Amino acid sequence: MAERPKLSPTPIQQFSLANGLRIVLCQDHAVPVVSVALYYDVGSRNERVGRTGFAHLFEHMMFQGSENVPKAAHFQYIFNAGGSMNGTTSTERTNYYETLPASHLPLALWLESDRMRSLKVTQENLDNQRNAVQEEKRLRYDNQPYVNAFLRINELIFKNPANAHSTIGSMEDLDAATIEDVQEFFRIYYAPNNAVLTIVGDFEGGEAIDLVRKYFEEIPSQPTPPPVDVSEPEDVAQSQEIFDDKLAPAPAFVLGWKIPPRRTPDFMRFHSQPISFSKAIVLASTKSW
């Protein structure tokens, strides 16, 4: 059998700025393209009871303009430069990323730094993006088969609200949110000391470091965000529920397991063993026949 070719090592360089921003650089000169990803250590688990949905709300708010970038111009700058971009939210992090021709690396760094430093968290922007999120929920959750059943299973599996509630959050909580609530959320979590900036692609290391320092070094850090309690009872609940989904074209059966924390020995042992159905948390999602 022919020997498989060995992949060359991936060159990774890491450093931090004085304000706490962590930077990861990975040069790859195969094609003249560069990708920038900015991850904030905030997701739905960081939201408090009665104020859920903020992490996902900011995935929308971050495109509403900053001191030097007009509303929605972030998209225009990237697309006009021949690039692509997006953002995503999960339980544990929110990220924003751009892929551009290599010569436009300064543009991506400038755009990300400007909204980190001076996002326009205004009442007008809160109102219109709150409405956008609510419309997204109606379209992608309430008007789609099975989706709300999948959200419900987390509420059956987990006892801790930080783990149980959905990433999109409660629409009632968003309605109740004040501009002060939202501004405080941004101040705490959208700070350089709560973020990781990654640059991958066709760039020169020294130049990239100089650009990062130019655009991000003067952004002030904030106090460390409050710790998040995501602990769960050790016992494994066994519960089941029939979810009446009138949009479902056929019955569905959903299973969920509460497993040990990632990166722990118990987690690795769990993945090496056959699944035990005696430990299953079951949700049956069916159409009403």
Higher pLDDT, 75 or 258: 75
Residue 142 pLDDT exceeds 70: yes
Residue 275 pLDDT exceeds 70: no
Which residue stretches of the chain are H helix?
54-61, 73-80, 105-118, 123-137, 147-157, 161-164, 171-176, 179-189, 205-216, 265-272
237 alpha-carbon distance from chain centroid: 28
- Predicted confidence (pLDDT) per residue in 160-169, tens digit: 999 999 999 9
Given a contact cutoff of 8 angstroms between Cβ atoms, the answer to whether 34 and 105 are in contact is: yes
pLDDT for 29: 94
Please give the average per-residue pLDDT across 26-55, as a whole number. 96
Residue 277 pLDDT exceeds 60: no
- Predicted confidence (pLDDT) per residue in 214-238, tens digit: 999 999 999 999 999 998 887 766 7
69 alpha-carbon distance from chain centroid: 22
Of 101-110, 131-140, 213-222, minimum mean pLDDT range = 131-140
Please give the average per-residue pLDDT across 138-160, as a whole number. 90
pLDDT for 263: 80
pLDDT for 262: 76
Tokens of 84: 């692509």
Tokens of 262: 């990632």
Domain ranges in the chain are: 12-216, 242-286
Please give the average per-residue pLDDT across 105-125, as a whole number. 97
What are the angstrom distances between the C-alpha of 73 and each of 70, 77, 129, 200?
5, 6, 16, 24
Q: What is the CATH number of domain 12-216?
A: 3.30.830.10
Contacts 24+ apart (CB under 8 A), 204-213: 204/27, 205/13, 205/25, 205/27, 208/25, 208/105, 209/15, 209/23, 209/25, 211/105, 211/106, 211/109, 212/17, 212/21, 212/23, 212/109, 213/17
pLDDT for 265: 87
Tokens of 167: 């990433």
Please give the average per-residue pLDDT across 254-273, as a whole number. 77
Residue 280 pLDDT exceeds 70: no
Q: What is the mean pLDDT of the chain?
A: 89
pLDDT for 276: 42
Given a contact cutoff of 8 angstroms between Cβ atoms, the answer to whether 87 and 94 are in contact is: yes
Given a contact cutoff of 8 angstroms between Cβ atoms, the answer to whether 71 and 92 are in contact is: no
Q: Is the pTM of this model over 0.75?
A: yes
